[in-house]
Chain A
């Protein structure tokens, strides 16, 4: 019995002790209690409580974070820094903590210290926005090496165009030409936005480095890739721009072989850059490889004829391909003959002329009708032509064809206002009002009394 009693007492005591221990153990930690209280307070009151509690109790992470945030909100940057540094020391790297430490230092005016934290954040949690911000900070700090290394650490195809430009300049500054070449080789071989400009820059670099053969090889490589036609044209333009004409010719010839349908685009590049002679030679070579011409290719031939006055390419194409060409292409091509050689030059091509061609190029129709003395058709085509955009040159042709209608009702009808084209209307007015010197008073001799 006594044993039983003793056991009961012992068990009872043990249970009591356990209960007390449980109560004690389950009592919230003062820091937890404080945290709960703070959540009900205005920020300034919460901050006051935290300041009062500081030193009296240890702050766990949540309280430390709250204290840091409130101190920062209050503008107490030193205390905020301390809190976030403690958090950084206690836990694994946190994006928020590193960003906030950077923000604290920037707000305090120490951008160099801020950049250290932002760099850590970028290394642990890379993002484009942060990289851009950090790059901007390095730039502001004039820490060009750090800026360069930040950009070099990234895949070049992920950099923004502004960053690429900047990295290129920094590499030039440091004389790291091999890295410069590697950067633009990667970008030029890619399809990132703006890759054509990077192709241009790489070619310019290779020309400057006296490595034209590599430039030609690179251009040939790009010609066979996506957007090959654009790459070919950009390559030729870049090489001509740097005076590497021979290399440009080689690239063009490669283009005729590798991109036969698109390579015509290089011909106007030569013509526009003052290399009309080269353009004509290349035109002949290119034409020899073509059996059927697209609308765009006819356009190129017409452009070359118009800009150089050399009709040989067009003549050859019309002879071999004229029957297969569409009306707009024919109209555009034959218009060059009208421009340079007059209506009579259409005679050899009369077999290609049709109402469809005249509809596409009414001035050609007017010229042909004029040649044949068909005034009604001339009038009809002139009216149609006046409803189209006309260059100064074409307006002069239009007026010369109008001369053939003089004395006829068609001429009077045109003078009476059938035409809406403002340039032609002015010319029609001028054709009936004798022109005077613009500044007659100045061109005449001075009046003399008596």
Chain B
């Protein structure tokens, strides 16, 4: 397959290189850009691919929150990293075994002039030998950055070892640190470094966690508690640790969880179970399809909320979907006709195992589909249970799952064709709605681990893609490690992840207690406080409609979204915001002044530990307002501004803004602000949305304004006054498919 040109990661790198890598401009211009890249080192020979690494699985989420884009480098290839050194804020290794070849990386790290600000920070998790084997000068520099030295001795640690020093503020986050007997390398914190954890064993002090002047080190025993059921938990506080290492709290961080001061909300419906039949309560009654219940009972009942519905093109073909296909097609048409629905595609043949098709061999697939069940399974209890389960789900038509539950895809009537799977499926669903509801999102099916060519094929269609990742953080699984990063690097491409996991995760894929999905509210709570880690994504399969428990849970969460302070958006808007997160560049233009470029659809910056700072509306450009949440300040950017300037002022005003003029500024808005025009005395907005919602503005206390809304009172401005805190709350009746103009005049 030819690799065409649209490769975002490479484009970003080339763009950055083109703008900042000119020899003369390199130091001055490139170093003005805030480095947002974490170079993650992994051993491809041991770990295979990026999505298997512990950095991806555990650390990237935290680094994303701190504004970092993680770019992976396979150290086993022994080539220099393909990344602009000036953009690298941090180099992170997490090896569990020594890595022999590091010359290519060593040469890259040795090019001192290419780096900004004294070079990247260096963090080593677990095995240190990669760094000690870099050669004396580089090794010494790396160790110095981490704030440690080693004596080259391996110490035997037994049951008598004790914790001699522990920084309680950064340790025992989700699991308690426990002394683990074993062999430990002799490591000590250098003077001036911040020791976080130290152990004493038979008179020998061993440093286990240190923050150095330009990096840090954490021993494996202080990182992650693996858990007896594979539920890992952080021992060290990764936020605090990386914040301490990066030391860039003053820099704004792109944040795709928030829009206009509020958490975003979106719904994704997967096509799984689209043709499933809902059991009739009385014999002889017509059985509804899950998709029919979805279209009639849910989408139309919640017409005030956007829903992104993924359709499997193969399901709608009678040759594949069987007798139910036509009804499934009608359900799809009905769903797509609803104005609150965004069309999405989940492929053609329902790929369950993408890796199988990375090097596709039709004969291997045919052999798998025709292989008889193994003799050992015959008559076994589990086998019978599986048969019952299979029958209950009643895969219809040409589904391979009715015969081979482990098949790599559902429809295998024709050989796998990537074009048909991606572009073809999108074209089919576009044709279904006659172009009236063009597909806005491609949703990765099955194990959602697309190979590079599949991502490339999706990008060529121009339709955003999303899937995989997500995660859960509920009462029984309360760890950050249950959440996934925003995206996954797959070769030169990026796979945008779901924000949160859905019904399948809470019901063990509909095999455990179905009421479990009612516990989703815990994940919502824990990903909002103390940090907003994730948007509110309600994700479920069409199949969930046939079960009372899961259907009621979905209805409950849709009701919750109606009353929660969120901005309802389409799922594709979230995917676009994550892409903006990846591409955004932030340039310092002086103390407390930041210019933002290439942010795409990302509309929010977040400043942490910003209790004493506020957005200076008068000095800023292309911003709409700000809102505090805890000690963070969320700055809303004007969607029409190409390169907004964020300027901060010293102020602990609870509003988080210094207005500087009589014109109000945005605190929050449930309708989506499509355009924003703020002059000295007034502000005019164009808004879109799915239902009436409040626009909350900040003005001077008791200031009086005239408000006009198109379609309501047109140009006849209605008088309103801000309250004692300066808050103006304006209900705006938005509806799908149109814009509402809001004019607020008369501030001076």
Q: Do A and B come from one complex?
A: yes
Interface residue ranges, A against B (CB under 8 Å): 40-44, 70, 72-75, 77, 103, 106-111, 114, 132-133, 135-137, 139-140, 142, 144, 160, 162-163, 166, 169-170, 172-173, 177, 180, 201, 204-205, 208, 241-243
Within 8 A of A (CB), among B497-549: 513-516, 518-519, 521-522, 525, 548-549
Nearest-neighbor residue (CB-CB) of A131 within chain B: B228
Given A72-B515, A73-B515, residue A162 in contact with residue B228 (CB < 8 A): yes
Given A111-B476, A114-B475, A173-B179, residue A139 in contact with residue B519 (CB < 8 A): no
Given A107-B518, A160-B228, A162-B226, residue A172 in contact with residue B476 (CB < 8 A): no
In this complex, how many residues of chain B approach chain A with their Cβ under 8 Å: the count is: 41
| Interfacial chain B residues near A180, Cβ < 8 Å | 159
Given A74-B552, A75-B515, A140-B233, residue A114 in contact with residue B476 (CB < 8 A): yes
Q: Are A75 and B156 in contact (CB under 8 A)?
A: no
B158 partner, pick from A142, A169, A208, beta carbons under 8 A? A208
Q: Are A137 and B476 in contact (CB under 8 A)?
A: yes
B156 partner, pick from A72, A73, A173, A243, beta carbons under 8 A? A243
| Interfacial chain B residues near A204, Cβ < 8 Å | 156, 158, 181
Given A111-B475, A180-B159, residue A73 in contact with residue B519 (CB < 8 A): no
Q: Are A177 and B513 in contact (CB under 8 A)?
A: no
| Interfacial chain A residues near B552, Cβ < 8 Å | 44, 73-75
Assembly CA distance A147 to B474 (angstroms): 20
Interface string of B175-186 (1 = CB under 8 A from A): 110111101000
Min CB distance, B552 to chain A, in Å?
Answer: 5
A136 partner, pick from B159, B231, B522, beta carbons under 8 A? B231
Nearest-neighbor residue (CB-CB) of A112 within chain B: B475
Nearest-neighbor residue (CB-CB) of A132 within chain B: B229
| Interfacial chain A residues near B549, Cβ < 8 Å | 72-73
B52 at the A/B interface (Cβ < 8 Å)? no
Interface residue ranges, B against A (CB under 8 Å): 156, 158-160, 174-176, 178-181, 183, 225-229, 231, 233, 281-282, 474-479, 513-516, 518-519, 521-522, 525, 548-549, 552-553, 556
| Interfacial chain B residues near A107, Cβ < 8 Å | 475, 515-516, 518-519
| Interfacial chain A residues near B225, Cβ < 8 Å | 139
Min CB distance, A17 to chain B, in Å?
Answer: 41
B178 partner, pick from A74, A108, A169, A177, beta carbons under 8 A? A169
Min CB distance, A360 to chain B, in Å?
Answer: 34
Given A73-B515, A75-B518, A77-B518, residue A139 in contact with residue B159 (CB < 8 A): no
Nearest-neighbor residue (CB-CB) of A242 within chain B: B156
Since A44-B552, A132-B228 are in contact, a sample of 15 more A-B pairs with Cβ atoms closer than 8 Å, ordered by chain A residue number, is A40-B282, A42-B548, A75-B515, A75-B518, A75-B552, A107-B475, A107-B516, A109-B474, A136-B227, A136-B228, A136-B229, A140-B475, A172-B159, A173-B178, A208-B158
Min CB distance, A84 to chain B, in Å?
Answer: 12
| Interfacial chain B residues near A144, Cβ < 8 Å | 176
Q: Are B228 and A135 in contact (CB under 8 A)?
A: yes
Assembly CA distance A150 to B513 (angstroms): 25
Nearest-neighbor residue (CB-CB) of B158 within chain A: A208
Which of B180, B477, B513, B518 is most buried by chain A, counting CB atoms within 10 A of its CB?
B518
- In the complex, 22 of the A-B residue pairs with CB atoms within 8 angstroms, ordered by the A residue number, are A42-B548, A44-B548, A72-B518, A73-B515, A74-B552, A75-B552, A103-B513, A107-B516, A109-B474, A109-B519, A109-B521, A132-B228, A133-B229, A139-B231, A142-B175, A142-B176, A163-B228, A172-B159, A173-B176, A180-B159, A204-B156, A208-B156
Min CB distance, A243 to chain B, in Å?
Answer: 7
Which of B156, B515, B549, B556 is most buried by chain A, counting CB atoms within 10 A of its CB?
B515
Min CB distance, B385 to chain A, in Å?
Answer: 15
Assembly CA distance A133 to B508 (angstroms): 14
Min CB distance, A85 to chain B, in Å?
Answer: 17
Min CB distance, B619 to chain A, in Å?
Answer: 44
Assembly CA distance A103 to B519 (angstroms): 10
| Interfacial chain B residues near A242, Cβ < 8 Å | 156
| Interfacial chain B residues near A241, Cβ < 8 Å | 156, 183
Assembly CA distance A44 to B549 (angstroms): 10
Q: Are B228 and A208 in contact (CB under 8 A)?
A: no
Min CB distance, B229 to chain A, in Å?
Answer: 4
Q: Are B181 and A201 in contact (CB under 8 A)?
A: yes
Q: Are A172 and B179 in contact (CB under 8 A)?
A: yes
Given A43-B548, A73-B549, A169-B178, residue A139 in contact with residue B476 (CB < 8 A): no
| Interfacial chain A residues near B228, Cβ < 8 Å | 132, 135-136, 139, 160, 162-163, 166
Q: Are A140 and B479 in contact (CB under 8 A)?
A: yes
Q: Chain B binding site: helix, strand, loop or mixed by DSSP?
A: loop
Assembly CA distance A142 to B160 (angstroms): 23
Q: Are A139 and B233 in contact (CB under 8 A)?
A: yes
| Interfacial chain A residues near B158, Cβ < 8 Å | 204-205, 208
| Interfacial chain A residues near B281, Cβ < 8 Å | 40-42
A106 partner, pick from B175, B479, B519, beta carbons under 8 A? B519
| Interfacial chain B residues near A44, Cβ < 8 Å | 548, 552
A140 partner, pick from B156, B478, B513, beta carbons under 8 A? B478
Assembly CA distance A27 to B515 (angstroms): 36
Which of A75, A180, A204 is most buried by chain B, counting CB atoms within 10 A of its CB?
A75
Nearest-neighbor residue (CB-CB) of B178 within chain A: A169
Which of A41, A73, A136 is most buried by chain B, counting CB atoms within 10 A of its CB?
A73
Assembly CA distance A371 to B227 (angstroms): 64
Assembly CA distance A70 to B160 (angstroms): 54
Min CB distance, B227 to chain A, in Å?
Answer: 6
Nearest-neighbor residue (CB-CB) of A70 within chain B: B548
Q: Are B181 and A172 in contact (CB under 8 A)?
A: yes
Min CB distance, A79 to chain B, in Å?
Answer: 13
A103 partner, pick from B174, B231, B478, B516, beta carbons under 8 A? B516
Assembly CA distance A43 to B279 (angstroms): 12
| Interfacial chain A residues near B174, Cβ < 8 Å | 140
| Interfacial chain A residues near B175, Cβ < 8 Å | 139, 142
Assembly CA distance A162 to B231 (angstroms): 12
Assembly CA distance A142 to B475 (angstroms): 13
Q: Are A139 and B556 in contact (CB under 8 A)?
A: no
Assembly CA distance A211 to B413 (angstroms): 70
Which of A41, A72, A110 is most buried by chain B, counting CB atoms within 10 A of its CB?
A72
Nearest-neighbor residue (CB-CB) of B548 within chain A: A43
Min CB distance, B544 to chain A, in Å?
Answer: 13
Which of B181, B229, B525 is most buried by chain A, counting CB atoms within 10 A of its CB?
B229
Min CB distance, B261 to chain A, in Å?
Answer: 26
Q: Are A109 and B525 in contact (CB under 8 A)?
A: yes
| Interfacial chain A residues near B513, Cβ < 8 Å | 103
B227 partner, pick from A72, A139, A208, beta carbons under 8 A? A139
Assembly CA distance A169 to B161 (angstroms): 12
| Interfacial chain B residues near A114, Cβ < 8 Å | 475-476
Min CB distance, A41 to chain B, in Å?
Answer: 7
Assembly CA distance A107 to B522 (angstroms): 8
Assembly CA distance A363 to B553 (angstroms): 75
Assembly CA distance A208 to B160 (angstroms): 8
Which of B156, B159, B174, B516 is most buried by chain A, counting CB atoms within 10 A of its CB?
B159
Assembly CA distance A70 to B518 (angstroms): 13
Min CB distance, B637 to chain A, in Å?
Answer: 35
Nearest-neighbor residue (CB-CB) of B476 within chain A: A106
| Interfacial chain A residues near B477, Cβ < 8 Å | 140
Min CB distance, B310 to chain A, in Å?
Answer: 25
Q: Are B556 and A109 in contact (CB under 8 A)?
A: no
Assembly CA distance A201 to B180 (angstroms): 12
